[in-house]
Structure 1
Amino acid sequence: MRRKNPKIKNLPDLPSPCTGICSMDMQNLYCRGCFRTRNEIGGWVLMSNVEKLDVLKEIRQRRRESRQTEKLP
């Protein structure tokens, strides 16, 4: 179970990770620029900072996986 971190609640609203490269990868169903799904993009403004941090963690993982896939022959 995740512990609540009171510092996260007091942070200013986390900015969108949008890179301005808005193109959906229809195979993986996330944006090629920011690596978010359509639901994550559309729901960003309604998410709490805790939820946004979870999405950012997912984005990092997707980005890593994408780089590994690109290196494969």
Structure 2
Amino acid sequence: MNAPSLPAIETPCIRVCVVDPETGFCIGCGRTRMEIGSWLSFDVKQRQDIMAGLPERVATLTLRKRRRGGRRGRLEAALRP
């Protein structure tokens, strides 16, 4: 007998787990360490609320990191179509 499969949990993680010391946001997904660590315990609404604010966080990080170059800039260049 097959065990029931668990529903997939949506995540913004792109496996670039580096927390920016100035903002406290991961430069890959935009979440804080607390949000990353608690992600599986959040309910769907909490995760959706956090995800709604991530594009603005990541855009801010992207602009700041682009000026400084580094790994984030190389990653973005590699991901651009």
> Displacement of 1:37 after TM fit?
0.0
> Which has the greater radius of gyration?
2
Q: CA offsets per residue over residues 21-46 of structure 1, 9 Å max, x none?
A: 11110001011111100010011000
Residues 13, 50 of structure 1: CA spacing in aligned structure 2 closer, same or farther, 3 A cutoff?
farther
Aligned partner of residue 16 in structure 1, secondary structure: coil
| Cα RMSD (Å) | 1.9
State how many pairs are aligned: 61
TM-score for the superposition, normalised by structure 1: 0.69
**What letter corresponds to residue 21 of structure 2 in structure 1?**
M
Kindly report which structure 2 residues correspond to 1:1-73, keeping only aligned pairs within 5 A, or say none: 12-69=7-64
Identity of aligned residues (%): 28
> Displacement of 1:16 after TM fit?
1.7
**What letter corresponds to residue 36 of structure 2 in structure 1?**
I
Bigger relative contact order (CA 8 A; separation at least 6): 1
> Displacement of 1:18 after TM fit?
0.9
Q: 1 or 2, which has the higher strand percentage? A: 1
- In 1, distance between residues paired with 2:65 and 2:21? 16
